[in-house]
Amino acid sequence: MPASGATQSITVPAAFDLGGLLAYLAARAIPGVEAVTTEGSYCRTLRIDGREGWILVRTGGGRRRPTLRVELSPSLGAVRARVLARVRRLLDLEADPEAVAAHLARDPAMARLVARRPRLRLPGTMDRFELAVRAVLGQQVSVAGANTIAGRLVRLVGEPIRQVEGAVPVALTHLPVAPGRLAVARPAAVAGIGIPRARAACLVSLARAVADGELPELAGDRPAPDPEGFTRPFTALPGIGTWTAASVAMRALGWRDAFPAGDLGLRKAMGGVTEAALRGAAERWRPWRAYAAQQLWASLGDTPGGTGR
């Protein structure tokens, strides 16, 4: 555990399900960059505006006034407000789960699922580009497989932690993959981590687009209010389809009505329906279709969010 750094508190609802979110994050933690400890804390490295460091999030307070305690390395002190905003985005703290659950429960197909998980939230991300890369790596592979490949990519093009103030948590060894570093990698070298050459070329193209400012929504904390304005250039990249775009829209950009209608897991959870039938059913879940997707994936037995495949 880190030995120093500023600590900030975030008040959360008494019924906040941190355990469910931590289970989701633990299943998808990128080796070397993020980890969920046995004590129930989430820790990761972070880069914001050239400032590099680590954060650690754990519970605090009591039952009447529960809080999240966010410890930051001193190197991130100048961007503390942005770090806390990203934590809130990661844990979907701006959502109103009761309102979402009440809306979805009007549909008999959703009522039973919502009753089991009435406080389910939409996990976000601390790094939008990282999430987009992870979505590409997750195409047609298991969650565990995507974790392994993501760790290899970090070791290939990621930057090791060297000069970050404060003792770094033991499990963290690298900073997140930066668009500029991946953009100059050779696709053949990227394919060497165990992915098809076409997918490696997709990753390099994605990194170049972000590095060149063509996808500003993935480069920082800028709001992305226009789904079509982002999706059109994003899906124009080779290897980016509607499933990947919807996954990024849901978790990276926080679009609560994003919905990957072609997802096989969602169709299975609805009883093996066709994509057209799933699209029709999903109309009843607007404007919370992303939460409906989370409920359906969770019903398959995975941690909230499922495999998404």
- What b-and-e string marks burial along 62-80, b requiring 16 or more CB atoms within 10 Å of the CB? eeeebbbebbbbebbeebe
CB-side exposure of 241: number of CA atoms within 13 Å?
Answer: 12
Quote the CA–CA distance of 244 and 3 in Å, as a whole number. Answer: 39
8: exposed, middle or buried (C-beta count within 10 Å: 0-12, 13-18, 19+)?
middle
Note if 17 is an active site residue.
no
In which region does residue 97 sit, left (phi positive, over 0), alpha (psi from -120 to 50) or beta (all else)?
A: alpha
- The β-bridge partners of 60 are 67
Nearest to 58 by CA among 176, 169, 174: 169
CB distance 298 to 306 below 8 Å: yes
Quote the CA–CA distance of 62 and 87 in Å, as a whole number. Answer: 20
Which residue of the set 92, 127, 263, 302 is catalytic?
263
Catalytic residues: 263
